[in-house]
């Protein structure tokens, strides 16, 4: 397995994900119990991460071609596919943090440097695609890394939010593996025409994010 793939899926990589829960904190506040997390995880993977992973694949293809204009267009597509202002802000912050760390790890990649300089939005899926291209990952590896990292954001947050231990959350990831594999295959085989890229559909998550952003004393940024 390529070291860059391990690096980008390692929770210790300084990409900022530790400050986010993938919407789990808001769901717990709304009454989600520990036994509901696996279903929540599957729903998030299908409703949010699957579409974002396809956007990341399209960004990686543009990055490999050195097509900065195409990347900036994908920025706009990424923002348009995220109707919640707090989630757009969170995605941009995560993207910027990922780019900042990647610029240290892969300093010679010109497309990464150009995108980081020119992008005002840096939505995380596009930034992830740019970084994955710099790291030498292929489309399938990129999609799997994106989906896995999204899943671990939820499971890591569950340990802090609910009465569960990390062994149980590891089991949830193993049980989600077939879905992760299927969605990664679909993302790797998808087209990269921005007009045809799918949008996520998670209205409960988006609506809860509005209240969560105003909540005092929250543990996670999103």
Task: Identify whether the C-beta of residue 222 lies closer than 8 Å to the C-beta of residue 210.
Answer: no
What residue numbers bound the domain in which 180 lies? Answer: 29-192
Q: Is residue 10 part of a domain?
A: no
Q: Is residue 221 part of a domain?
A: no
Checking if the pLDDT of 166 tops 70, the result is yes
Q: Is residue 5 part of a domain?
A: no
Lowest mean pLDDT among 6-10, 41-45, 70-74, 213-217: 6-10
For 29, counting Cβ atoms within 10 Å of its Cβ (0-12 exposed, 13-18 middle, 19+ buried), the class is middle
Q: What percent of the chain has pLDDT over 70?
A: 99
Q: Is residue 197 part of a domain?
A: no
pLDDT in the model for residue 1: 64
Band of residue 167 on the pLDDT scale cut at 50, 70, 90: very high
C-beta atoms surrounding 127 within 10 Å: 31
Band of residue 215 on the pLDDT scale cut at 50, 70, 90: confident
Task: Tell me the CB-side half-sphere exposure of residue 40, using CA atoms within 13 A.
Answer: 26
Checking if the pLDDT of 221 tops 90, the result is no
Q: Is residue 47 part of a domain?
A: yes
Domain holding 61: CATH number? 1.10.4190.10
CB within 8 A of 114, min separation 6: which ones?
68
Does residue 37 or residue 218 have the better pLDDT? 37
Task: Identify whether the C-beta of residue 112 lies closer than 8 Å to the C-beta of residue 130.
Answer: yes
pLDDT in tens, 176-210: 999 999 999 999 998 778 778 888 888 888 888 88
Q: What percent of the chain has pLDDT over 90?
A: 69
Mean pLDDT score across all residues of the chain = 90
Does residue 41 or residue 217 have the better pLDDT? 41
Q: How many domains does the chain have?
A: 1
Average pLDDT over residues 8-21: 75
Phi-psi region for residue 136, left (φ > 0), alpha (ψ -120 to 50) or beta? left
Q: Is residue 48 part of a domain?
A: yes
Task: Identify whether the C-beta of residue 99 lies closer than 8 Å to the C-beta of residue 131.
Answer: yes
Instruction: Give the span between the Cα atoms of 10 and 208, in whole angstroms.
Output: 28
Q: Which position has the token pair 């990341």? A: 56
pLDDT in tens, 95-116: 999 999 999 999 999 999 999 9
Residue 87 to residues 22, 84, 201, 209, Cα–Cα distance (Å): 10, 5, 13, 7
Q: Is residue 93 part of a domain?
A: yes
Q: Is residue 216 part of a domain?
A: no
Phi-psi region for residue 200, left (φ > 0), alpha (ψ -120 to 50) or beta? beta
Please report which helix (H) or strand (E) contains residue 165, including its range.
Answer: none
């Amino acid at each position: 397995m390529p070291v860059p793939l391990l690096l980008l899926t390692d929770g210790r990589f300084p990409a900022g994900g530790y400050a986010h829960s993938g919407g789990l904190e808001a769901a717990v506040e709304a009454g989600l119990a520990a036994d509901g997390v696996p279903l929540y995880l599957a729903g998030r993977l299908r409703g949010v991460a699957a579409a974002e992973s396809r956007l990341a694949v399209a960004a990686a293809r543009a990055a490999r071609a050195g097509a900065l204009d195409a990347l900036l267009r994908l920025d706009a597509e990424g923002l348009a596919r995220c109707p919640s202002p707090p989630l757009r802000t969170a995605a941009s912050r995560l993207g910027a943090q990922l780019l900042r760390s990647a610029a240290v790890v892969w300093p010679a990649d010109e497309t990464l440097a150009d995108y980081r300089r020119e992008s005002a939005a840096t939505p995380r899926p596009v930034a992830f695609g740019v970084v994955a291209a710099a790291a030498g990952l292929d489309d399938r590896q990129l999609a799997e890394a994106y989906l896995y990292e999204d899943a671990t954001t939820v499971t890591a947050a569950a340990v802090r939010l609910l009465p569960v231990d990390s062994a149980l959350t590891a089991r949830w990831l193993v049980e989600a593996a077939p879905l992760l594999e299927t969605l990664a295959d679909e993302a790797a085989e998808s087209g990269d025409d921005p007009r045809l890229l799918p949008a996520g559909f998670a209205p409960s998550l988006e609506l809860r994010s509005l209240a969560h952003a105003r909540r005092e004393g929250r543990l996670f940024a999103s």
